[in-house]
């Protein structure tokens, strides 16, 4: 089947994994990666697919409604996977306006442009993947408490509605019908964009789908986020700034498992529905930090415990959500998706990747990759 799929934010962390998966797996699809290349966007994430015949990169801002309409027309776009966003909570606390602009207005501009393309009849009703697929986050649901059954120290083994046992730090989970309750400017902007997406279905009948995923980790994540930042700091003997007491809990998923879920849901998910995506893999921040220290020290040949002295407790993040825990049973039950990697295996792979790609880390932190873009796309 021939399809022209626009993927926004494809030069970012998760987007680059989704672009790579689609370009390689679907030679009949034309994948149009639309990305503004903010500090978080990096074409070096896609070197291995940049010359593929079914791939086009376009530098564009999703807030530029006319520009996006033109791209949709020129490339006859008939399906969208929307990942472009400002994604870092700490930045949203310092600069909420940029988050409202990109995440709310940018999504709205993309929705309007998509509506025109869809109403023009370019999107065949019922065709697989002719839809606006919006990638969202578990942070829109707010925060869960740490809780424990009487007499049992967390993490304790619990049973999700999928019937599987896993470790958890509380009894409650975010489900698809959990009420939105965002706390940070980032999560408020993502919640708002989710509402706009659903409103376009309820008002205009547009075929949309929304997924809410937990924390991703893996290669190509910008080193301002916990895992790549700490790997890099441990390697260079720099302090590891742990917010508060390090007791906050996140549910971690290997990024390629998220990309696989996106592929499955884009093709087989029910229109106008929501699916939660998560790893059933809860960890306290401080425990992740200890795993990272042990792994990096072992791989670079430091005596065990060398990195422990780098742990530095710093002032807590403002409004820091205590616990996120996604229940992704629906996705497992209805579409048969499961995370493929155990966390220990995923962390080992991830640490090895960053240690082997110091040049990538240096480039993204120095801004040199912008020169790469200029050379690639503005020759002469």
Residues forming contacts to ligand DAU in the complex (CB under 6 A) are 87-89, 137-139, 214-215, 225-226, 229, 241-243, 248, 250, 285, 317, 324
Q: Is 226 in the site for ligand NAD (CB under 6 A)?
A: no
Question: What part of residues 251-270 is at the interface with ligand NAD (CB under 6 A)?
Answer: none
Judged by CB, which is closer to ligand DAU: 9, or 129? 9
| Residue of closest CB approach to ligand NAD | 12
| Helix, strand, or coil (residue 34) | strand
127 classed as catalytic = no
250 binds, among ligand NAD, ligand DAU, none (CB under 5 to 8 A by kind): ligand DAU
Question: What part of residues 31-50 is at the interface with ligand NAD (CB under 6 A)?
Answer: 35-38, 40-41
Judged by CB, which is closer to ligand DAU: 4, or 137? 137
Q: Considering the complex, what minimum distance in angstroms separates the CB of residue 78 from ligand DAU?
A: 28
Distances (CA, A) of 369 to 46, 205, 361, 362: 12, 41, 10, 10
DSSP states along 211-275: EEE-EEESTT--TTSHHHHHHHHHHTT--EEEETTS--EEEEEEHHHHHHHHHHHHHHSPTT-EE
Q: Is 102 in the site for ligand NAD (CB under 6 A)?
A: yes
DSSP states along 124-176: -TT-TT-SEEEEEEGGGG--B-----TT-PSSEEEE-TTS-EEEESSS--B-T
Judged by CB, which is closer to ligand NAD: 188, or 310? 188
Q: Considering the complex, what minimum distance in angstroms separates the CB of residue 82 from ligand NAD?
A: 7
Q: Is 285 in the site for ligand NAD (CB under 6 A)?
A: no
Give CA–CA dist 11/114, Å, rounded: 21
Q: Which of 19, 85, 234, 242 binds ligand NAD (CB under 6 A)?
A: 85
Q: Considering the complex, what minimum distance in angstroms separates the CB of residue 164 from ligand DAU?
A: 21
Phi-psi domain of 326 (left: phi exceeds 0; alpha: psi -120 through 50; beta: other): beta
Are residues 104 and 189 in contact, defined by beta-carbon separation less than 8 angstroms?
yes
Query: Among the options 35, 61, 78, 139, which is catalytic?
Result: 139
- Print burial letters for 198-221: b (CB count within 10 Å at least 16), e (below 16): bebbeeeebbbbbbbbbbbbbbbb
Q: Is 77 in the site for ligand NAD (CB under 6 A)?
A: no
369 classed as catalytic = no
Judged by CB, which is closer to ligand NAD: 17, or 201? 17
Give CA–CA dist 234/351, Å, rounded: 11
186 classed as catalytic = yes
Judged by CB, which is closer to ligand DAU: 49, or 100? 100
| Burial of 133: CB neighbours in 10 Å, binned 0-12, 13-18, 19+ | buried
According to DSSP, the residues that pair with 313 across neighbouring strands are 242
Give CA–CA dist 261/255, Å, rounded: 10
Q: Considering the complex, what minimum distance in angstroms separates the CB of residue 327 from ligand NAD?
A: 15
Give CA–CA dist 242/309, Å, rounded: 12
Q: Considering the complex, what minimum distance in angstroms separates the CB of residue 264 from ligand NAD?
A: 16
| Helix, strand, or coil (residue 12) | coil
Judged by CB, which is closer to ligand DAU: 107, or 285? 285
Number of residues that bind ligand NAD (CB under 6 A): 29
Q: Considering the complex, what minimum distance in angstroms separates the CB of residue 156 from ligand NAD?
A: 25
| Residue of closest CB approach to ligand DAU | 137
- Using CB under 6 A, list all residues that contact ligand NAD: 8-9, 11-15, 35-38, 40-41, 61-63, 83-85, 87, 102, 106, 135, 137, 190, 213, 215-216, 222
């Amino acid at each position: 089947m021939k399809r022209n799929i626009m993927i926004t934010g494809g030069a970012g962390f998760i987007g680059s994994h989704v672009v790579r998966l689609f370009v390689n797996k679907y030679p009949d699809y034309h994948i149009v990666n639309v990305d503004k290349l903010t500090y978080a966007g990096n074409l070096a994430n896609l070197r291995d697919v940049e010359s593929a015949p079914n791939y086009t990169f376009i530098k564009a801002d999703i807030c530029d409604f006319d520009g996006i309409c033109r791209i949709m027309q020129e490339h006859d776009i008939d399906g969208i996977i929307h990942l472009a966003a400002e994604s870092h909570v700490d930045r949203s606390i310092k600069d909420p306006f940029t988050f409202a602009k990109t995440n709310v207005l940018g999504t709205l501009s993309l929705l309007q442009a998509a509506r025109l393309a869809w109403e023009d009849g370019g999107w065949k009703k019922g065709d697989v993947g002719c839809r606006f697929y919006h990638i969202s986050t578990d942070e829109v649901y707010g925060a869960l408490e740490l809780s424990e059954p009487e007499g049992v120290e967390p993490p304790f083994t619990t049973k999700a509605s999928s019937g599987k046992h896993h470790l958890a730090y509380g009894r409650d989970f975010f489900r698809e019908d959990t009420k939105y309750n965002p706390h940070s400017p980032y999560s408020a902007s993502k919640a708002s964009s989710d509402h706009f997406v659903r409103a376009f279905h309820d008002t205009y009948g547009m075929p949309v789908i929304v997924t809410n995923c937990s924390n991703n980790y893996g290669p190509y994540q910008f080193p301002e986020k916990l895992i790549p930042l700490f790997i890099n700091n441990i390697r260079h003997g720099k302090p590891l700034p742990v917010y508060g007491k390090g007791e906050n809990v996140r549910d971690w998923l290997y990024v390629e498992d998220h990309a696989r879920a996106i592929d499955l849901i884009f093709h087989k998910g029910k229109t106008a529905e929501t699916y939660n995506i998560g790893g059933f893999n809860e960890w306290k921040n401080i425990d992740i930090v200890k795993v990272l220290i042990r792994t990096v020290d072992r791989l670079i040949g430091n005596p065990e415990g060398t990195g422990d002295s780098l742990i530095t407790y710093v002032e807590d993040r403002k409004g820091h959500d205590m616990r996120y825990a996604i229940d992704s049973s629906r996705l497992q039950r209805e579409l048969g998706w499961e995370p493929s990697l155990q966390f220990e295996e995923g962390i080992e792979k991830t640490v090895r990747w960053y240690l082997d790609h110091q040049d990538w880390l240096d480039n993204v932190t120095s801004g040199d990759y912008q020169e790469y873009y200029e050379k690639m796309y503005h020759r002469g």
